[in-house]
């Protein structure tokens, strides 16, 4: 199949929906200090929404399970989901405000981010249960770490297809059996080390350094040895590492002039879900996902930068 071949299989994304507020400052303020900034623009965000848009723009059939508030931010947060034809019938409206991320960027490009979960905090086991039929019928179920732990665990429990667990961030107190059931578990280097520390606690004592000295490929191998079904570790511009049978295969990312890396990881996960839903092998899906993630870095923002099925992806 070509990178843009759609599938009749449904992807269910269970995750967060945000409105993002971007502010530029010369430097980050010190405690108690006020500084002047510029920008103040709003954009669509939330890992669940980002991943849903990424998959849908590539031609996948996507249903999103999440929540927004009864406020103006909800219209903004849902706009590009609607534009990509994501099924929003299982997005609930709650009394809490729509999730908000305040992104402060200084002159060097360093970010400081405050996330107010708002309605995303309502995506618990009970709300996920209300969408049980959608999740059970999906060929691929995608979850991340920006909703309550019991919502993640319930979604994984309802999944009868393939579970993609993007542990971003790593949820505190998550049932490790769900981590092991992920196929694949998608992590970056930091998240991989965090989870390995829970799945395979390092020895302690004087002189012990735990897992900190492990290279990325070693972390991936240890995660597999700890019972995780398959692993994809994203490495930014260096691509990714993917488990294939008993091997760890590097996936190269295209070389591009990056404008903005915001949401590139979510573009990768959405494209990965699309590939797996249409029956691609994990390594093949990851190769396309790396190209989609690179495409997303060539324009500002997250969802607005994602490719459509007709777009030409950069080559490695």
% of the chain beyond a pLDDT of 90: 79
Tell me the C-alpha distance between 289 and 266, whole Å: 10
C-alpha to C-alpha distances, 179 to 118, 173, 176, 199, 242, nearest whole angstrom: 26, 11, 5, 9, 16
Global pTM exceeds 0.95: no
C-alpha to C-alpha distances, 211 to 45, 230, 262, 275, 288, nearest whole angstrom: 33, 20, 28, 32, 31
Model pLDDT for residues 12-40, shown as the tens digit of each residue: 999 999 998 988 889 989 999 999 999 88
Ordered by where they begin, the domains of the chain are: 10-17+46-98+118-305 (3.40.1190.20)
> Per DSSP, what are the bridge partners of residue 99?
18
Model pLDDT for residues 150-175, shown as the tens digit of each residue: 999 999 999 999 999 999 999 999 99
Tell me the C-alpha distance between 193 and 160, whole Å: 28
Model pLDDT for residues 245-304, shown as the tens digit of each residue: 889 999 999 998 888 888 899 999 999 999 999 999 999 999 999 999 999 999 878 899
User: Pairing between strand 18-25 and 99-105?
Assistant: parallel
* Range list of H helices, the chain: 47-57, 72-83, 125-130, 132-137, 149-158, 176-181, 189-199, 216-225, 264-277, 282-296
Chain mean pLDDT for the chain: 92
For residue 97, what is the DSSP state?
Answer: P
Interior CA angle at 239 toward 238 and 242, to 5°?
130
Catalytic residue numbers, as ranges: 266
**3-state SS of 106-146?**
CCCCCEEEEEECHHHHHCCHHHHHHCHHHHHHCCEEEEECC
Model pLDDT for residues 72-105, shown as the tens digit of each residue: 999 999 999 999 999 999 999 999 999 998 888 7
Cβ 267 vs Cβ 260: under 8 Å: no
For residue 236, what is the DSSP state?
Answer: G
User: Pairing between strand 61-69 and 162-166?
Assistant: unpaired
Q: What is the pLDDT at residue 2? A: 44
Question: Whose structure tokens read 């190209």?
Answer: 291
Tell me the C-alpha distance between 107 and 179, whole Å: 38
């Amino acid at each position: 199949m070509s990178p843009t071949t759609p599938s009749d299989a449904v992807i269910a994304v269970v995750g967060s929906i945000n409105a993002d507020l971007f502010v530029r400052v010369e430097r980050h303020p010190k405690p108690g200090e006020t500084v002047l900034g510029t920008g103040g623009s709003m954009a669509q965000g939330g890992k669940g929404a980002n991943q849903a848009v990424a998959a849908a723009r590539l031609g996948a059939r996507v249903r999103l399970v999440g929540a927004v508030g009864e406020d103006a931010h909800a219209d903004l947060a849902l706009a590009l989901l609607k534009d990509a034809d994501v099924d929003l019938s299982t997005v609930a409206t709650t009394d809490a405000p729509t999730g908000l991320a305040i992104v402060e960027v200084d002159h060097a490009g360093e970010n400081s981010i405050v996330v107010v979960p708002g309605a995303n905090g309502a995506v618990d086991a009970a709300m996920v249960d209300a969408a049980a039929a959608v999740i059970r019928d999906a060929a691929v179920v995608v979850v991340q770490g920006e909703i309550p732990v019991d919502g993640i665990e319930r979604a994984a429990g309802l999944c009868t297809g393939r579970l993609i667990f993007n542990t971003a961030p790593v949820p505190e107190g998550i049932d490790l059996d769900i981590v092991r059931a992920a196929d694949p578990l998608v992590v970056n280097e930091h998240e991989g080390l965090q989870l390995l520390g829970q799945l395979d606690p390092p020895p302690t004592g004087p002189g012990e350094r735990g897992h900190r000295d492990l290279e990325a490929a070693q972390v991936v191998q240890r995660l597999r040895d700890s019972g995780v079904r398959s692993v994809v570790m994203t490495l930014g511009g260096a691509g990714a590492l993917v488990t294939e049978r008993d091997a760890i295969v590097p996936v190269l990312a295209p070389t591009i002039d990056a404008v903005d890396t915001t949401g590139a990881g979510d573009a990768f996960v959405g494209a990965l879900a699309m590939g797996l839903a249409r029956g691609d092998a994990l390594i093949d899906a990851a190769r396309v996902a790396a190209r989609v993630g690179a495409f997303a870095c060539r324009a500002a923002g997250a969802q607005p930068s994602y490719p459509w099925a007709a777009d030409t992806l950069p080559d490695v």
